[in-house]
Structure 1
Amino acid sequence: MQSFFLRVVLCGALSFALPIIPETDQITKGDTQLAEKYLHNYYPEPEGTPVLRSKGNNNEMADKIRQMQEFFGLKVTGQLDSPTLNEMKKPRCGVPDIGEFRAARTLNRWPRNDLTYSIQNYTPDMEPADVEDAIERAWKVWSDVTPLTFTKVSPDSADILISFVAGYHRSNRFDRAFDGYGGELAHAFFPSFGGDAHFDEDEYWAKDLKGTNLFLVAAHEFGHTLGLQHSSIWGTLMFPTYVPSNPQTFRLHEDDINRIQYLYGPPENDNDVYFNDDDDQLESPQFPTNSPAEEPSPDLCDPHLSFDAVATLRGETLFFKDSFMWRINPQRRNIEKGPTSDFWPVLKGGIEAAYELEDKDILFLFKGQRYWATRANIIQPGYPKNIHTLGFPNSVKKIDAALFDKDTKRTLLFSGDEYWSYDEAQNSMENGYPRKITSDFPGISSTVDAALHHNGHFYLFSGSKQYKFDSKQKRFTGIKKSNSWFGCR
């Protein structure tokens, strides 16, 4: 069976005519060219398809875009809209997302469990010892959940060759090319084509998140080396795009485990729990499909359900309850849920308040008398801090809710029956506060559990109800169930 890389070579350099694009998306000629290249590389025509089939055919290209949108969980429009283009611009793996390759025990797996590898050369971006450590830990991701073993040997006797290359290069029977910094980070061959893995030397490789993390990319590529195709489930290791996440708290997604064990089976002593060398259980910055937890997940459509905190994060909306979190992404169909500690391992319990400063890409999380600043799932240096450093009196023991008003550039912080206004530009509390919540938000008879600023309105959550408040007209405009965001009635 031919590999995906051979399929890309057979496709050649085609010239696709893309579907008509809405003017509101302001897609440039360069964007169109990027999309054409992306679709040719990662959504190639099936083997044997005439080259001329796709030339000038808007319907064919619309189908390709729909394929890509469906794979990534985007709204399927068949048009090169902004969300689709943004996904195309993200750094990713060079293996195509579609093709005839399937996880078959006989054709796309190694015939034995004891495999060897060799590192052909080293990137100057990292110390050789750090490269070796990242590669070894990347193999361990897969050996922890299978009976496979991986041993570093000399190049002449290795099953799998690992190298850092730039631009055009040749491996096995295929000429391949990297595209410079960004874009395609790495690619690997499937078992039937030797399993070699290549990393683009034009990237800046790092052992942490100050560059492209070698461990995360290598673990993904080694999945291909072992026979895995890309996954369409966001949060899996085998998802095509690179998602920076703390390599020290990484845990393999359940879907990745199920697929690799389909090929090779579970480890000989499988107890479904995996540990690192320090016996600290590894945790994932993405949500497994069924994350283990000490308590049952709340019923999302329970009519009495209340939330502890609500906030935005990079276009998503996060809902916190006890030790769990739900994520709504407007470009994805499915609602993700899982323990909060899967995303922020240091936060074992529930979040009590949260708000985002979008222009700074910072999310603040409050719990008791401490608060954290985080970019995505990376806690920033110097945190946690005490809430009293913000200017609260000692009588305030915790923050119940918080929201950032994009119009005034003030953050409203609720505690008990009072609230404060924090000037983000001046980094200080405003004079005249605290004020009684009922004075400025009449109609709420109890405390505010969670708060959110969305599309020019405040949403104040109290118990199982949410109150929609027009911040300009200073009046409530509606009351709904707190979980109405999820389509619950």
Structure 2
Amino acid sequence: YLNPQEPEAGLGLWLSGRALRFYLHDSKEKDDNSLEFKLKEMQKFFGLPITGRLNSHIIEIMQKPRCGVPDVAEYSLFPKRQKWTSRIVTYRILSYTSDLTPAVVDQIVAKAFSMWSRHIPLRFKRVRIGTADIMIGFARGAHGDFLPFDGPGNTLAHAFAPGPGLGGDAHFDKDELWTDGSGLGVNFLYTATHELGHSLGLGHSSDPRAVMYPTYRTEDSQSFRLAQDDIEGIQKLYGNIYGFK
């Protein structure tokens, strides 16, 4: 997730950088790389009037905490429909935050996986040694994936689509203040559930009720559940708990 700081100068350059990062496009047309085009893409995604012009709605959205994965419309799947082919997916927690005890982190990660597993025919198995399909950890600064964290209040977390190597891995910024939902800080359950959605193959959703919506929001950890859009997206990849799509 990203928690963009308010730009005090160079607003166009700041916004252009954000737009280029979150609204990638394959076209080689020059106009498709313009700020106006990126603004239109953003407005389309968030259901705003498509003007291609900077306004208060765009600024507000860009300043909200969010995930660093680019946006696409509705629930979405990563390119080439990347997904795990085994019904048993392993995960390993490599490192922790000092904000929560290891036991609490373990419990929250397991709960985040269960948010997804109750709707699909996958089983998530924790391993404590060796390489797992999904490697999870907290890190600060450069940590080996060319997506360095940058201290408190900016990049919060990111994850990768299923695949070898970094594929499926989820990283959380150790410099953030993480919470189990009982105090101030970033709700780890909500963030982990979102990032593990990416680890399973989901992109972002344009449904503001979905956990895969790109901007972060505070949720009650006790009542938090996936939205229908999240469920439809993950079942598009893996089928329901009986294996039927």
Common fold by TM > 0.5: yes
Q: Aligned-pair distance for 1:75? A: 2.9
Q: 1:169 to 1:186 in 2, by over 3 A?
A: same
Distance 2:20 2:216 in 1: 20
5+ residue gaps, structure 1, are 1-26, 271-489
2:51 pairs, out of 77, 80, 100, with 77
- Residues 1:138 and 2:112 aligned together: yes
Q: 1:155 to 1:41 in 2, by over 3 A?
A: farther
2:91 pairs, out of 101, 117, 123, with 117
Is this contact kept in 2: 1:196–1:225, CA < 8 A? yes
Q: Aligned-pair distance for 1:232? A: 0.7
Q: Aligned-pair distance for 1:180? A: 2.6
Is this contact kept in 1: 2:197–2:212, CA < 8 A? yes
Name the count of aligned residue pairs: 233
Q: 1:256 to 1:188 in 2, by over 3 A?
A: same
Q: Aligned-pair distance for 1:254? A: 0.6
Is this contact kept in 2: 1:104–1:263, CA < 8 A? no
Higher RCO, 1 vs 2 (CA within 8 Å, ≥6 residues apart): 2
TM-score, reference length from structure 1: 0.45
Q: 2:142 matched to which residue of 1?
A: 168
Q: 1:30 to 1:61 in 2, by over 3 A?
A: closer
Q: 1:36 matched to which residue of 2?
A: 16
Is this contact kept in 2: 1:155–1:161, CA < 8 A? no
Distance 1:90 1:180 in 2: 17
Equivalent residues in 2 for 1:415-434 (5 A)? none
Q: Aligned-pair distance for 1:137? A: 0.5
Is this contact kept in 1: 2:157–2:172, CA < 8 A? yes
Matched AA of 2:77:
A
Q: 2:64 matched to which residue of 1?
A: 90
Q: 1:87 to 1:106 in 2, by over 3 A?
A: closer
Secondary structure, aligned partner of 1:262? helix
Q: 1:181 matched to which residue of 2?
A: 152
Is this contact kept in 1: 2:78–2:203, CA < 8 A? no
- Residues 1:260 and 2:231 aligned together: no
Q: 2:130 matched to which residue of 1?
A: 156
1:200 pairs, out of 165, 173, 176, with 173
Q: 1:185 to 1:104 in 2, by over 3 A?
A: closer
Q: 1:106 to 1:94 in 2, by over 3 A?
A: closer
Q: Aligned-pair distance for 1:178? A: 2.2
Q: 1:30 to 1:165 in 2, by over 3 A?
A: farther
Matched AA of 1:66:
K
5+ residue gaps, structure 2, are 1-6
Distance 2:143 2:97 in 1: 16
Q: CA RMSD in A?
A: 2.5
Identical-pair percentage: 41
- Residues 1:241 and 2:212 aligned together: no
Distance 1:74 1:145 in 2: 31
Q: Aligned-pair distance for 1:107? A: 4.5
Matched AA of 1:63:
F
Distance 1:202 1:166 in 2: 6
The CA deviation string for residues 193-235 of structure 1, in whole angstroms up to 9 with x for no partner, is 5200011112111101421011100000111111011001111
Secondary structure, aligned partner of 2:194? helix
Is this contact kept in 2: 1:107–1:192, CA < 8 A? no
The CA deviation string for residues 220-271 of structure 1, in whole angstroms up to 9 with x for no partner, is 011111101100111101000101010110121111111111111111399x
Matched AA of 2:180:
K
Larger Rg: 1
The CA deviation string for residues 365-384 of structure 1, in whole angstroms up to 9 with x for no partner, is xxxxxxxxxxxxxxxxxxxx
Is this contact kept in 1: 2:72–2:206, CA < 8 A? no
TM-score, reference length from structure 2: 0.86
Q: 2:3 matched to which residue of 1?
A: none
Secondary structure, aligned partner of 2:143? strand
Secondary structure, aligned partner of 2:130? helix
Q: 1:28 to 1:123 in 2, by over 3 A?
A: closer
Secondary structure, aligned partner of 1:199? strand
Is this contact kept in 2: 1:105–1:263, CA < 8 A? no
Secondary structure, aligned partner of 2:90? strand
Equivalent residues in 2 for 1:203-242 (5 A)? 203-208=176-181, 209-242=183-216
Distance 1:169 1:261 in 2: 32
Secondary structure, aligned partner of 1:115? strand
Matched AA of 2:150:
D
Is this contact kept in 1: 2:112–2:196, CA < 8 A? yes
Distance 1:167 1:77 in 2: 37
Q: Aligned-pair distance for 1:168? A: 2.2
